[in-house]
Structure 1
Amino acid sequence: MPDTVVIAGAGPTGTWMACELRLAGVPTVVLEQDPDISPHSRALTVHPRTIETFALRGAQHRMLAEGGQLPSGHFAILDERLDFTTLDTDFQFTLTLPQARTTELLRERAVALGADMRSGHRFVTFAEDDAGLTVTAEGPDGEYTLRADYLVGCDGTRSAVRESAGIDFDGTPSTALGALGDVRLSEPPDGPVISEWSLDGTFMCVAMPGDLYRFAVHSPEDVRTDWPDDFTLDELRTRVRRVCGTDFGMHSPSWLSRYGNTSRIAREYRKGRVLVVGDAAHQHMPAGGVGLNVGVQDAMNLGWKLAATCNGWAPETLLDTYHAERHPVGETLLEQSQAQTALFMDFTLQGQELRSFLARVIAERPQFKEALTERLSGLHVEYPPTDPAHPLIGLRAPNLRFADGHELFALFDRGEYVLVDFGRVKGFDARDLDLGDATGRIRRFRPTTASAEHRVRWADVGAALIRPDGYVAWASDEHEGEALARELRTATDAIHRAAAMS
């Protein structure tokens, strides 16, 4: 029987983690201390790479049907917006969907896949022995214990799992605040998104489902290290009027909240049998709405690796690559968030000039604008190998389309490696090759007709092996059949050699 995993936290990160494990048949228990999903959704946007992640498992359809699509984004609320329609993806937009609904949809999927979802049950602590973990939880009937082989903390910035494991959370305290309010408007603005920055403060307004509008505001008085009283509707009205002369007739708030720019990252994403994911691994100012998205990407990176380890066909050392690949992403997240905070919280003439200069450079330098757009979208993340190799290795694979009507993303619905034989090499057919221990763990695909793709990077590729999370594990431009077969066997032996060791 596969190993058992206990997940603490059933937000989008924890539920997607559960979905990945259950897709591979791993027994999974999810502990969520809140009995119901909170209606308050700090996260509101799903970025292109996250939509791609859901699309790799066929889980995107209801989200796309319900969410609003915004073809642009912002960096530090600069006037020059970032254009998502230039991105190499099927999803050239951010999706506006409240976190509460995203969570609900992912929980439905996790339960349908067989996850043991326990709402109103909180993680308390754990003890480790040679055979595994004893996890203590508390539910409506009191404390109880669970046996687990691995424990995954998806329980937020105040993670009890991280603290119980003794994982340091390094960083800096808050030096600037922001506030948000979800309200109704009697005089709503035109368009789904408006924003403005001035020396008196800044605000952004985004239309939400249910006739709600979200306002995010920052003001000169927010540059502080102390924490003031609760945020009020009158305070929100005052701040918005100060910047644009009207409060749009805001009334009937459903949520008002403050947040800070505390910037911290877990020193270790893995400590033995314990792993931390999402906000349990990194905390930052919610600039650009990237937090939920990076958390889901953490879960996608770890999910298939933990499933492979639990099912016995990968070594436990595979889990070390989770930290190696995702910790740098977390560091970049903190750097980017703090850079944006510095830009939109500098309410001085010098800050105004800096913003004006950067907006002009972004407008005049398409490559700079493209780089910022890719960073915000999540499409820029790479996991390159340390040794020289094919330039595609470590990059995300786009949704390649073939002349026979097949699409690459549709091949990942079972969460397996996918081997694509482009049919360009005479004497080579991946469907007929003996891949040793990898047989049965790799889905092989060869289009019945030649590829219709004309992407420059993929034009000469004879075959490519793509990881379950959609990143290229191996690719080759070799056009001699026997040589290509040898390269492929070497690649699959390296990936799956654990099966022979176990």
Structure 2
Amino acid sequence: MQTQSPNLQSSNPYDVIIAGAGPVGLFLACELRRAGLSVLVLEQSRNPHSALKQLPFGLRGLSVPTVEAFYRRGLLDEIVIAQRASSGAITSAAHWMQQARRPAGHFAGIQFYQDDIDAAKWPWHLPTPADASIAVDMETLESVLAARACSLGVEIRRGFGVNAITASDEDVTAQAAGETFRGRWLVGCDGGRSAVRKLSGFDFVGTDPEFTGYSIDVELADPDKLGPGRNHTPTGMYTYAPSGTIAMVDFDGGAFHRTEPITREHVQSVLRRVSRTDVTVIALRLAATWTDRAHQATTYRKGRVLLAGDAAHVHSPLGGQGLNLGLGDAMNLGWKLAAASRGEAPADLLDSYSRERHPAGAQILDWSRAQVAIMRPTPSTRALQAIIRDLIGTRDGATYFAERVRGVSLRYDLGGRLPLVGRSVPDFELSDGTTVGERLRTAKGMLLDFDARAPLQALASRWSDRVNYVTDDVSDRLGLSAVLVRPDGFVAWASDGAPDHEEVAQAVARWFGESTAARGYP
């Protein structure tokens, strides 16, 4: 899809230019356009379709924060419907669907199971439609997000890879495909080899790879020689789904990744070494490589240029958390960039994006590194694997791993004495049958006052352009009397007694980097 760009000689550039039309760039574009900003998305690839985005290799599991974000923006139903259209293919592609117990995830290929998880360990969480476990292929997800972006008026131009950037204190100019585009802000969502990151001089630091990973679709002469599911061997690990879908890792220091063409002969050699069999590959239908390289930008913002998704952080796809991490970046950045662009907040508000999301990214990178550490084909690693298997098989162990893999433990450091502050808001059901998640579809914040206190209502009215005041009672308050929710659904402040009104005012002001006096509060 492509539309004509406006006259770039005019004094009105785009509010935001986004490089990259993957899920992260498209979701961010939706957030910004919903806030009324003009948004241009530039995508290097002319064709959005790719076999690697389709089943089986394109299959991704969505974490709790991701599903909550889609739910809070009215996208969840569309994604579920699109998923169901290919559910038969998903069922056949996932080897774990055939197991007697329902897996809930894995750590370095060591599974934990749904019936071992104790959700009572998460007392701040209430049942929500976003609790559903959702797996969707990348092409379907991109299609849904692109359709939503276009319906909102986002301009998407394909075949336009950014190749030059000029940034000033007032705007950013990007060159792509021989054309020049000007915006007030530029966000690089253009993947692990991000041109925006490189051209803008972001530091990108981390650890080098230990292995080359392979995702392949092959025809085998003797498929019975491979064990279905995940298999650990003295030389590595492979996952096999009949009749020819294989993922495997070869601990070669990442030497083969993108260094030469992937041939049938090479794949057969690696597969034989990793599987410890003399299996024969008749035909190579599809192949891609990847590594466990783990790097992260030291900051996600340099002036008017920002990074999100793989442009800001790369790691191995083990556990499938990269997509979810990037979508979390978009949800966190969207409302802040909108507020700064509209002049409702100083640009310094955007520094909180890096402060909040950089630690989340660093944690995922370490999670990825830890998985690699127990995948190495050494005797000491095998011993460590046995200990992890014992731990992950316990109720507390499975609950801990589920909390980390599903993203339930995500919490921003927003201060406050209650453990809910900085976490995703529980999906309180209001008396009219609506939920907090549904009320957040306006992309505004919310002051939820269970006891209808007049001072809180008066306070909220000072920020009525940014915060919806909702007074109602709910069936389960979780011991709370009032909750202040940011536009991204995270709790900025909460009270379990008589609210301190000045404390609430300061919490709202912190969102937007202004003093309480700026809104008439003494």
Normalising by structure 1, report the TM-score.
Answer: 0.85
CA distance in 2 between counterparts of 1:437 and 1:153 reads: 35
Match of 1:120 in 2: 159
> Could you list the per-position Cα deviations for residues 73-99 of structure 1 after superposition, in whole angstroms to 9, with x for gaps in the alignment?
110001545669655564456433221
Name the SS of the counterpart of 1:329 in structure 2: helix
CA distance in 1 between counterparts of 2:368 and 2:181 reads: 38
93-102 vs 65-74, greater mean Cα deviation:
65-74
Q: How do 1:156-235 and structure 2 match up within 5 A?
A: 156-182=191-217, 194-205=229-240, 214-219=245-250, 222-223=252-253, 225=255, 227=257, 229-233=260-264
CA distance in 1 between counterparts of 2:116 and 2:25 reads: 28
Q: Which amino acid aligns with 1:22?
A: R
Deviation at 1:398, TM superposition (A): 2.8
Deviation at 1:392, TM superposition (A): 1.7
Q: How do 1:242-391 and structure 2 match up within 5 A?
A: 243=275, 254-344=285-375, 346-364=376-394, 366-385=395-414, 387-391=415-419
Name the SS of the counterpart of 2:443 in structure 1: coil
CA distance in 2 between counterparts of 1:398 and 1:415 reads: 16
CA distance in 2 between counterparts of 1:418 and 1:24 reads: 16
CA distance in 2 between counterparts of 1:151 and 1:319 reads: 13
Preserved contact between residue 421 and residue 429 of structure 1 (Cα < 8 Å): no
Match of 2:186 in 1: 151
Q: Does 1:466 align with 2:485?
A: yes
348-357 vs 86-95, greater mean Cα deviation:
86-95
Q: Does 1:445 align with 2:467?
A: no
CA distance in 1 between counterparts of 2:175 and 2:313 reads: 24
Name the SS of the counterpart of 2:399 in structure 1: helix
CA distance in 1 between counterparts of 2:105 and 2:502 reads: 45
Preserved contact between residue 447 and residue 460 of structure 2 (Cα < 8 Å): no
Name the SS of the counterpart of 1:299 in structure 2: helix
Name the SS of the counterpart of 2:262 in structure 1: coil
Match of 2:137 in 1: 98
- For residues 224 and 496 of structure 1, do their structure 2 counterparts lie closer, same or farther at Cα, with a shift above 3 Å needed? closer
Q: Which amino acid aligns with 1:347?
A: P
- For residues 160 and 467 of structure 1, do their structure 2 counterparts lie closer, same or farther at Cα, with a shift above 3 Å needed? same
Q: Which amino acid aligns with 1:52?
A: E
Deviation at 1:367, TM superposition (A): 2.7
Match of 1:132 in 2: 171
CA distance in 2 between counterparts of 1:80 and 1:494 reads: 40
> Could you list the per-position Cα deviations for residues 203-257 of structure 1 after superposition, in whole angstroms to 9, with x for gaps in the alignment?
22469xxxx97421124x545545564334566567667649797x998765311
Deviation at 1:399, TM superposition (A): 2.1
Preserved contact between residue 173 and residue 181 of structure 2 (Cα < 8 Å): yes
Deviation at 1:388, TM superposition (A): 4.6
Structure 2 portions without partners, runs of 5+: 1-11, 91-96, 98-102, 120-124
Deviation at 1:23, TM superposition (A): 0.7
Preserved contact between residue 43 and residue 291 of structure 1 (Cα < 8 Å): no
Structure 1 portions without partners, runs of 5+: none
- For residues 314 and 64 of structure 1, do their structure 2 counterparts lie closer, same or farther at Cα, with a shift above 3 Å needed? same
Q: Does 1:107 align with 2:155?
A: no
> Could you list the per-position Cα deviations for residues 168-226 of structure 1 after superposition, in whole angstroms to 9, with x for gaps in the alignment?
1112322211100245899999xxx932222243222469xxxx97421124x545545
Instruction: State the aligned residue count.
Output: 474
> Could you list the per-position Cα deviations for residues 12-61 of structure 1 after superposition, in whole angstroms to 9, with x for gaps in the alignment?
11111101100101110000011111412265212232111111101011
Name the SS of the counterpart of 2:393 in structure 1: helix
Identity %: 32
Deviation at 1:275, TM superposition (A): 0.3
Q: 1:15 aligns with which of 23, 26, 29?
A: 26
CA distance in 2 between counterparts of 1:105 and 1:120 reads: 20
Q: Which amino acid aligns with 2:372?
A: T
CA distance in 1 between counterparts of 2:282 and 2:442 reads: 47
Deviation at 1:102, TM superposition (A): 1.2
CA distance in 2 between counterparts of 1:60 and 1:285 reads: 27
> Could you list the per-position Cα deviations for residues 451-493 of structure 1 after superposition, in whole angstroms to 9, with x for gaps in the alignment?
122xxxx5221111111111101111223xxx55454344334
Name the SS of the counterpart of 1:163 in structure 2: helix
CA distance in 1 between counterparts of 2:403 and 2:232 reads: 23
Deviation at 1:113, TM superposition (A): 0.8
Deviation at 1:128, TM superposition (A): 2.3
288-297 vs 80-89, greater mean Cα deviation:
80-89
Q: Which amino acid aligns with 1:474?
A: W
- For residues 160 and 81 of structure 1, do their structure 2 counterparts lie closer, same or farther at Cα, with a shift above 3 Å needed? same
Preserved contact between residue 392 and residue 472 of structure 1 (Cα < 8 Å): yes
